[in-house]
Amino acid sequence: MNHDRQFHLAQDQLRHGQVERAIETLAQILSEDPDDADAHALLSLCLLRRKRLAAATLESRKAIMLAPESAFAHISAAAIETASRRFSRAEEHLLTALALHPDSSPARYQLASLYRLWGRNKDAESEVARARDLDPDNIDLWVLAGNIARSRGDRQAAERYAREALEIDPENVDALVLLGQLELAAGNVTQARAHAVWALQLDPNDEGALALLGSIKARSSLVLGLWWRFNSFVSAGSQQRTIVLLIGMYLAFRITTIFLNSSEFKDWVPFASAAWIAFCVYTWFAPSLFRRALKKEMEQVQLNSSF
């Protein structure tokens, strides 16, 4: 098998969650051609998927050094910078990639993903729309468009985009997770769990599917249900919105205690303070309880090919 066919095989393996197989395929390419910049760039993305950030960064730098005018090398570098939350550097790499290859759908996809993570939702919508015009059969673009629609509360559009993705590939894990998230938000726990288990059957290590299963467990729990709803409400939307909500909650507490102190209800101040402390303790320990619940739920899930 020539290197081009091996490289495309590694891309397909990574796309379907077969990360270790993709790494093995790329290792074979690099054993025969250590200066293959695209192989180094794709290997960096595989290593990033496995949370090996230091190794991924090294491979990305090799790719840039070997091919500084490769759009794909800059796209992989942007993924590393994004994972390190160096958003400005990631944007620079993606703009460089687009300067080298203006019709690069992967570069616009990454740029849209970056802007969504950055809280720049309008820019994200613009970029993902441009990318879909360039590559309408790209499943990842439809899923990203669905997640952007979901973050702004447009459930109908999000579901439509997810089903468009599944028409292209009925076993796309990200689209299944998105549908599961939408079902859970609508209160359809059984359907949400079915999507989560189906996604985990396809990729047992998928973070989105694991998080969805944990969210289902949390929502069904008397102890974690309130935390899950609170966390879902606060984390929905942009990072700026989350910060404003958290600051607003603290200010509301302070204003309440000041008002109580200056009124005939000042005896209520200790109760208000105790309630605030209890809330803080609850939201502090709930995530660890959530992880325990997720682990327990995973032990109960039987992943088999006949599901």
Going by C-beta distance under 8 Å and a sequence separation of 6 or more, which residues neighbour residue 21? 13
SS3 content of the chain, % helix, strand, coil (to 5): 80, 0, 20
- In the chain, where do the E strands start and end? none
What pTM does this model have? 0.66
- pLDDT at position 307, please? 40
- The reported pLDDT for the residue numbered 289 is 66
Question: Amino acid identity of 99?
Answer: A
Contact 172, 16 (CB under 8 A): no
Position 127 scores a pLDDT of 93
Which residue matches tokens 């942007």?
78
pLDDT score of 267: 79
Task: Count the neighbouring beta carbons within 10 Å of the beta carbon of residue 250.
Answer: 11
SS3 131: helix
Which residues are CB-neighbours of 90 under 8 A, at least 6 positions away? 78, 79, 81, 82, 110, 114
Assigned token pair, 5: 């066919």
DSSP string, 48-99: HHTT-HHHHHHHHHHHHHH-TT-HHHHHHHHHHHHHTT-HHHHHHHHHHHHH
Residue 1's pLDDT is 56
Q: Domain 1-118 is in which class? A: mainly alpha
Give residue 261's pLDDT: 78
Could you tell me the residue ranges of all domains in the chain?
A: 1-118
pLDDT in tens, the chain (307 residues): 577 888 888 888 887 778 899 999 999 999 988 999 999 999 999 999 888 999 999 999 999 999 999 999 999 999 999 999 999 999 999 999 999 999 888 899 999 999 988 888 889 999 999 999 989 888 989 999 999 988 877 889 999 999 999 998 888 999 999 999 999 888 888 898 889 888 888 877 777 887 787 778 766 665 555 655 666 666 655 566 667 777 877 888 888 888 887 777 777 778 888 887 877 776 676 666 666 666 665 555 544 433 4
d(CA 81, CA 35): 22
pLDDT of residue 75: 94
CB 165 within 8 A of CB 175: yes
The Cα–Cα gap between 257 and 140 comes to 49
